[in-house]
Amino acid sequence: MDQISNLVERVRNGDRIALSKLITRMEHEPEVRKEVIKKIYGCPVKGRIICFTGPPGVGKSTIIDHVISILTEGGKKVGVILVDPRSPYTGGSLLGDRIRMQRHATNQNVFIRSISCADNPEGISRSVKDILKVMGLSGMDYIIVETVGTGQIAVEVSYICHTTVLVLMPNMGDDIQMMKAGIIESADIYVINKSDLQGGDLTEAYLRDNIEPRGGWMPPIIKTIGYNRSTIVPLVEKIEEHLSRENPMYMEKIRGLLKTMFMDYLDDLAVHFLQENNGYEEFVSKVAKCECDYYTAVEELFKKFKKEVLCNDKGIDHVAIAVRDMDEAVKIWRDMGFDVEYEIVEEQKVKVGIIHMGDARIEILEPTEVDSPISKFLEKRGEGLHHLAVKVDDIEKEIEKLKEMGYRLIDERPRIGAGGKKIAFVHPKSAKILLELVEG
Ligand SMILES: Nc1nc2c(ncn2[C@@H]2O[C@H](COP(=O)(O)OP(=O)(O)O)[C@@H](O)[C@H]2O)c(=O)[nH]1
Ligand SMILES: [Mg+2]
């Protein structure tokens, strides 16, 4: 078994050292993340994920410390991830968090781990989402995530959580307005910590004006004092209550999350494509020299990207239909709203009507002379499907391969077809239809 499969298997059996090792690798190696997620896709995941978010210093870690105690006293297993984007503003806050939770370090039912992505802050929410999935696999009953701050990362991480707790403190009216809008709207439970201090009413009033029931749940506002465990008990009860109910909003959140994950990965592929593709520099030079505007350049690049990355290189190039009367044949396509372009291929004595369909096209063939190959086809078979053309990577190789397998080819060597592309025909005796191979 390879190393990653081995680690995944051990994590599934509750091995904490394996979990720690796997998280470290996922944190630093995007390729490992991808491999792990592909492996564990579809595995049943038990843990419920609770996200604590809020500005630095409001008391999230102090509260989580008690939440861990309360949950583990009930015999549950708890995993904690502290997310540290290591911005200049929040750097170092994790050390304090670790110390605050240190007393749980020897408890076999508690797993605490901090994750930072100092070198790639944008990538952190991506790795956290994947790491949460792995924690869920390890048999934890609850997984607690603490995200520092209230920016985009917190919003994204909260998508994957079953219950999001936004922690605030007294006197925060103006600060709340500075937060990323999504975070206020997406919390399920609001905590006003440091209730031993004055000014809690101001924060509460602001929240009351801005919270609405969602999916049959009215998000509660709970006042706590981080040092005072008895004030945290009602919070844990509310968390349990929220976790236990059918939550129609959760599916919505997951859909939102999936959308961002798709976009993220697409983004990765696009960036990778640009880095690998020499054409990219060329496009930039063209725009810099004013040979092309940048909208057109990006559209061209996107076309290439679609062709080479998204659509892969195989597929239908075109379908050709032989007809006696071009105008009559193209009418239906025009009526359906397609544009038709025309081309005369002298050598074949044929007029071609071209209708683009995504990456493929339909070609309507009308003979221009009585001795055109298309005239002969019409005489023999009548109007209808003439041939099918498929894209191949390397036409010489494909021809060799088919010849070796005993198929009959009309062209044993490629010739140049429309658009200067290399083409070759396979005999209908072999393919049941006249089949054209087109390179590129
Ligand atoms: N006065 C007061 N201080 C608190 C309370 N809860 C936490 N703190 C203190 O606030 C500071 C920040 O707490 P911490 O849990 O690290 O906040 P975090 O950044 O949100 O995780 C620490 O010095 C805590 O001791 C509280 O209820 N009242
Ligand atoms: Mg903290």
- Give the model's confidence band at 172: pLDDT under 50 very low, under 70 low, under 90 confident, else very high: confident
What's at 187, amino acid-wise?
A
Residue of higher predicted confidence among 234 and 98: 234
In what helix (H) or strand (E) does residue 17 lie, and over which residues does it extend? helix 16-28
Q: What domains can you pick out in the chain, each with its CATH number?
A: 3-257 (3.40.50.300), 260-310 (no CATH), 315-439 (3.10.180.10)
Give the type of residue at 154. A
Q: 117 or 355, which is more confident?
A: 355
Residue with the smallest CA separation from ligand 1 atom 13 is 59
Indicate the helix (H) or strand (E) that contains 78.
strand 78-84
Q: Is the CB of 226 under 6 A from ligand 1?
A: yes
Among 118-127, 151-160, 238-247, 265-274, name the one with the lowest average pLDDT. 118-127
pLDDT of residue 299: 84
Instruction: Read off the pLDDT of residues 130-155 as tens digits, 9 standing for 90 and up.
Output: 888 888 888 899 999 998 765 666 77
The pLDDT of residue 47 is above 70: yes
10 Å Cβ neighbour count for 379?
10
Mean pLDDT score, 398-427:
91
200 lines ligand 1 (CB under 6 A): no
Closest ligand 1 atom number to CA of residue 195: 27
In short, whether 225's Cβ falls inside 6 Å of ligand 1 is: yes
Would you state the structure tokens that stand for residue 196, as one six-digit string? 């031993």
Q: Is the pLDDT of residue 230 over 90?
A: yes
This prediction's pTM: 0.66
The ligand whose atoms approach the alpha carbon of 100 most closely is 1
The predicted pLDDT at position 411 comes to 93
Tell me: pLDDT of 191 over 50.
Answer: yes
Q: Which residue has the higher pLDDT, 158 or 374?
A: 374
Closest ligand (CA of 96): 1
Run of H or E including 335: helix 326-335
Contact call for residues 351 and 291 (beta carbons, < 8 A): no
Distance 81 CA to ligand 2 centre (A): 11
Residue 53 CB–ligand 1 contact under 6 Å = no
The predicted pLDDT at position 212 comes to 87
Count of beta carbons in the 10 Å neighbourhood of residue 375: 18
- Maximum mean pLDDT: which of 153-157, 172-176, 356-360: 356-360
Confidence at residue 150, expressed as pLDDT on a 0 to 100 scale: 59
pLDDT tens-digit series, residues 276-314: 776 778 878 888 888 888 788 888 888 777 766 665 557
Chain mean pLDDT for the chain: 85
421-432: pLDDT as tens digits: 899 999 999 889
* Residue 363 β-bridge partners: 320, 354
HEC string of 305-371 equals HHHHHHCCCCEEEEEEEECCCHHHHHHHHHHCCCCCEEEEEHHHCEEEEEEEECCEEEEEEEECCCC
Give the confidence band of 86 by pLDDT, cuts at 50, 70, 90: low
pLDDT mean over 166-180: 79
